[in-house]
Amino acid sequence: MKNKILYLALLTSLTLFSTTFAQLAKWQSGLIVDEFVVEKPPFPESHASTIAETPTGLVSAWFGGTKERNPDVCIWISRQENGKWVAPQNVANGIINDTLRYACWNPVLYQIPKGDLMLFYKVGPSPSKWKGWLKTSSDGGRTWSAAKALPEGYIGPVKNKPVLLANGNLVCPSSTEGDGWKLHFEVTPDFGKTWRMVGPINDGKTINAIQPSILRYGKGKLQILARSKDRAIVESWSTDNGETWSPLAKSSLPNNNSGTDAVTLSDGRQVLVYNHVLPPGDLAKGPRTPLNLAVSNDGKNWSAAVILEDSPISQYSYPSVIQTSDGLIHVIYTWRRQKIKHAVIDPKKLKLKPIENGVWPTLAGYTAPIAKEITKD
Report how far residue 218's alpha carbon sits from residue 56's, in angstroms, rounded to the nearest whole number.
29
The predicted pLDDT at position 6 comes to 44
Weakest mean pLDDT among 80-84, 182-186, 360-364: 360-364
Angle at 355 between CA 354 and CA 358, to 5 degrees: 165
pLDDT top residue among 377 and 330 = 330
How high is the pLDDT of residue 24? 85
pLDDT at residue number 368: 65
What is the mean predicted confidence (pLDDT) over 200-224?
97
For the residues 330-343, what does the mean pLDDT come to? 98
Residue 305 pLDDT = 98
Cα dihedral 36, 29, 256, 107, rounded to 10, equals 40
Q: Using the predicted structure, report yes or no on whether residue 290 has a pLDDT greater than 90.
A: yes
CATH class of 31-354: mainly beta
Which band of pLDDT confidence, cut at 50, 70 and 90, is reported for residue 373? low
Backbone angles phi, psi at 293, to 5 degrees: -125, 125
Q: What is the mean pLDDT of the chain?
A: 93
**pLDDT level of residue 314 (50, 70, 90 thresholds):** confident
**In 117-231, at which residue ranges do the beta strands (DSSP E only) sit?**
117-124, 131-137, 148-149, 163-164, 170-176, 182-188, 196-198, 209-218, 221-228
Confidence check: pLDDT of 350 > 90: yes
Q: Based on the number of CB atoms within 10 Å of its own CB, is 330 exposed (0-12), middle (13-18) or buried (19 or more)?
A: buried
pLDDT tens figures, 191-203: 999 999 999 999 9
Q: Given pLDDT bands bounded at 50, 70 and 90, which one contains residue 372?
A: low
pLDDT given for residue 276 in this prediction: 98
**Percentage, residues of the chain above pLDDT 70:** 90
Where do the structural domains in the chain lie, given as residue ranges? 31-354
pLDDT value for 377: 58
Model confidence at 363, in pLDDT bands (50, 70, 90)? confident
| Residue of 141, 170, 130, 124 whose CA lies nearest to 50 | 141
